[in-house]
Amino acid sequence: MSDNRFMRTQALLGQQKFARLQKSCVMIIGLGAVGGYALEALARAGIGKLILVDFDKVDITNINRQILALDSTVGKSKVELAATRVKDINPACKVITKEIFVNDKTLPELLSEPVDFVVDAIDSLNPKCGLIETLVKSDIPFISSMGAALKTDPACIKVQSLNKTKNCHLARFIRKRLKRRGVDISKVLCVASDEQVDLPDTALFIEADSHPEGNTRQRHTMGSLPTITAIFGLTIANKVILSLSELAN
């Protein structure tokens, strides 16, 4: 019996472009609220190889917005959960998991394997800037997620270069840091929301954050909706799918 699980994608793109997806390798760094939904769509698009990177485990506070977070998965490794889910969607997909924290020490090894596209769904500022700088200087195609927290209007979400973003605190911080490092921010493709937010003080709070090196620190946490973070992830996946499939022309 033939396997028709991707017949609708193939019908839209055509056999040549769909075949390009099947031969592509995409690395997703960060499998949380945004990265999880990007992964879901890329797996269902028939991407042939996925490299999944995240050091974290599911926390009960993830359940409001992360596709991998369920009552039954609390405490479990995100990369292992993601790999199992991908295999259930597409058994033919080659999945590589890397349960590591992204920093200057791990980046060289992480990016040593050739990839066709990288999805940056990291939510920590320093690792994110280090990753973006390395990707730009290495000329590796990628798309980066800016801040989805505090946003409520899906119509304001768009794919744009980092130098074009506005009303995004995360993008502003990243622009400043990358400029100091000599990175051409016009080469940073990202998904960001231009929405101007005006929310109550309750949308911001402080919580303990576990760091992979063993220490616990306080971090500012912002409220977020499952709808907006999912749209960020799906928008990223859509851009990756269109970019990779067009390479078949």
d(C-alpha 119, C-alpha 220), whole Å:
24
What's the sign of the alpha-carbon dihedral 182, 187, 191, 193?
Answer: positive
- Residue 107 vs residues 53, 79, 104, 173: alpha-carbon distances, Å: 11, 17, 5, 21
pLDDT along the chain (249 residues), means of 10: 87 96 98 98 98 98 97 98 98 98 94 96 95 97 96 97 96 96 97 86 51 55 92 98 82
In this prediction, residue 216 carries a pLDDT of 53
Q: Which amino acid is at 3?
A: D
- In sequence order, the 6+-apart residues with CB closer than 8 A to the CB of 119 are 26, 27, 28, 29, 30, 35, 38, 42, 142, 143, 145, 236, 237, 240
Residue 223: predicted pLDDT: 86
pLDDT value of position 249: 45
Is 29 within 8 Å of 107 (Cβ atoms)? no
CA-CA-CA-CA torsion sign (23, 110, 146, 143):
negative
Quote the CA–CA distance of 154 and 49 in Å, as a whole number: 30
CA angle 30, 33, 39 (to 5 degrees): 60
Give the burial class of 201: count Cβ atoms within 10 A of its Cβ; 0-12 exposed, 13-18 middle, 19 or more buried: exposed
CATH numeric code, 9-246: 3.40.50.720
Write down the pLDDT at residue 205.
45
CA 23 – CA 93 distance, rounded (Å): 10
User: What residue ranges do the domains of the chain occupy?
Assistant: 9-246
Alpha carbon distance 26, 238 (integer Å): 13
Amino acid 16: pLDDT: 96
pLDDT for position 215: 53
